[in-house]
Amino acid sequence: MNEVLQTLLSHRSIRAYQNKPVEADRLEQIVKAVQAAPNWVNLQHTSIIVVRNQERREKFAELCGGQRHIAQAPVFLVFCADFYRTWLACKGRDQEFDSVVSQIDNLIVGANEVGIALGTAVAAAESFGLGTVPIGDIRFHALAVIRELELPRYVVPMLGLCVGYPAEEPGQKPRLPKEAVCFEEKYHPDLSGLLKQYDGQYATYLWERPRNSRIGDWTEMAADFYRAPYCHYPEVPEMLAQQGFLSLE
């Protein structure tokens, strides 16, 4: 197995970090890797805000629901879907932009590119022995995040990422069986047996993990998380409208 695959297959979410800074050259290489990642039509609809200041990391920990590892990690990256540069290009040619950017496909493009960027950053960081954990709750108080980062219109905060040297070894979460996520030629919807198999494996993992052990299984967790009425990030519609990606009319 080569080193790239070894890094990818060894991924763990890290939520405890050493009091040790991330070297500037390593952070530079992570950003370079993100810029080299695939993107749509070379339009590069992603930006990264690097947050290293302790007080600001404390602030983002609060905005993300009290996640203390954001304050503890020496670097917090905020990944944004960014159409501001595209707006500047269109403005320079006297082209109207709002009716274009608000088409739903552009939001899909931005989310796709942020996902690719964050995944690339995780792989690059972990190749240096750094630990990471993505933070979806950057959208929990999305409007305050926009103000804190002074994001212009057409820029949307999508995901955060803690980066630092691990101070824990949490073990790996078991993943769904390959047959439940990868299909030959066409989708095979009869997944009940595979999910039952995975429920048993996941329940054992939850019970045996060294911290925060609990009783349950994967399908129970999934159903509970998406219990109606679902509104995990209530500010998102207003935020998307404010930033030009959605019309609330």
User: Structure tokens of 217?
Assistant: 């299984």
Give me the domain span that covers residue 109: 3-171+234-242
Residue 56, classified by CB atoms within 10 Å of its CB into exposed (0-12), middle (13-18) or buried (19+), is: middle
Tally of structural domains, the chain: 1
Q: Is residue 213 part of a domain?
A: no
The overall pTM is greater than 0.85: yes
Instruction: Say which CATH number the domain at 32 has.
Output: 3.40.109.10
Q: How far is CA 115 from the centre of its chain?
A: 6
> What is the tally of helices (H) and strands (E) in the chain?
11, 4
Residue 211 falls inside a structural domain: no
pLDDT tens string, the chain, 249 residues long: the values are 899 999 999 999 999 999 999 999 999 999 999 999 999 999 999 999 999 999 999 999 999 999 999 999 999 999 999 999 999 999 999 999 999 999 999 999 999 999 999 999 999 999 999 999 999 999 999 999 999 999 999 999 999 999 999 999 888 999 999 999 999 999 999 999 999 999 999 999 988 877 777 789 999 999 999 999 999 999 999 999 999 998 766
